[in-house]
Amino acid sequence: MSGHFEPLPGGGAAVALDEVEISIIRSLAVQLLELIGPGPGADSQKDPLAELFAEGPSEPPADPVLRRLFPDAYSDPEQAPDSPAEAEEWQAHSAEFRRYTENDLRAGKRENALAVIRALDALAPVDEGGAVLKLAAGESRQWLGALNDLRLAIGTRLEITDEDDTDLLYRLPDEDPRKPMVMAYLWLGGLQETLVNTLMA
What is the pLDDT at residue 47?
Answer: 59
Taking each continuous run of H as one helix and of E as one strand, the counts in the chain are: 7, 3
First-to-last alpha carbon distance for the chain, in angstroms, is 23
Q: Residues with Cβ < 8 Å from 132, sequence gap 6 or more?
A: 14, 15, 16, 17
What is the pLDDT at residue 1?
Answer: 38
More confident residue, 167 or 31: 31
pTM of the model: 0.81
pLDDT tens digits for 89-101? Answer: 666 666 777 777 7
Q: What is the mean pLDDT of the chain?
A: 82
pLDDT tens digits for 133-179? Answer: 999 999 999 999 999 999 999 999 988 877 777 777 778 888 888 88
Q: Give 10's strand partners.
A: none
Q: How far is CA 109 from CA 61, 66, 104, 118, 168, in A?
A: 15, 11, 9, 14, 29
More confident residue, 124 or 114: 114
DSSP state of 74: T
Axis-axis angle for helices 84-121, 137-157 (nearest 10): 120
What is the pLDDT at residue 98?
Answer: 72
Where exactly are the structural domains of the chain?
A: 6-200
pLDDT tens digits for 40-86? Answer: 555 445 555 555 555 666 677 888 998 888 887 765 555 655 667 76
